């Protein structure tokens, strides 16, 4: 793939994010919030996706398209 995700936590609003991603052409293989996080990061980019995540989480995301490593956590840490 074009990205790798190490993720822990839960994004509570993943269902609505998934619906939006599906309308924008993303195809899912599972029903997990982890896949929604990965698809959102890949499709929208971390700068747009992370502020949309409502939950408790931390992750490391490597985007092979631009050789960038992104580290993030929820606002409360």
Kindly give the confidence (pLDDT) of every residue in the chain, 77 residues in length, as a single tens digit, with 9 standing for 90 and above. Answer: 689 999 999 999 999 999 999 999 999 999 999 999 999 999 999 999 999 999 999 999 999 999 999 999 998 87
User: Model-level pTM?
Assistant: 0.93
What total number of domains does the chain contain? 1
CATH classification at residue 36: 3.60.20.10
- Structural domain span for residue 68: 3-73
Which residues on neighbouring strands pair with residue 4, listed in sequence order? 62
pLDDT at residue number 7: 97
* Cα radius of gyration (the chain): 11
Distance of CA 74 to the CA centre of its chain: 12
pLDDT value at position 1?
Answer: 66
């Amino acid at each position: 793939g074009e990205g790798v995700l190490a993720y822990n936590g839960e994004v509570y609003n993943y269902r609505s994010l998934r619906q939006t991603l599906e309308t924008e052409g993303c195809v899912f293989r599972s029903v997990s919030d982890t896949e929604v996080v990965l698809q959102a990061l890949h499709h929208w980019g971390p700068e747009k996706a992370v502020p949309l995540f409502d939950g408790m989480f931390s992750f490391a995301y490597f985007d092979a398209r631009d050789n960038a490593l992104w580290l993030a956590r929820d606002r409360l840490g």
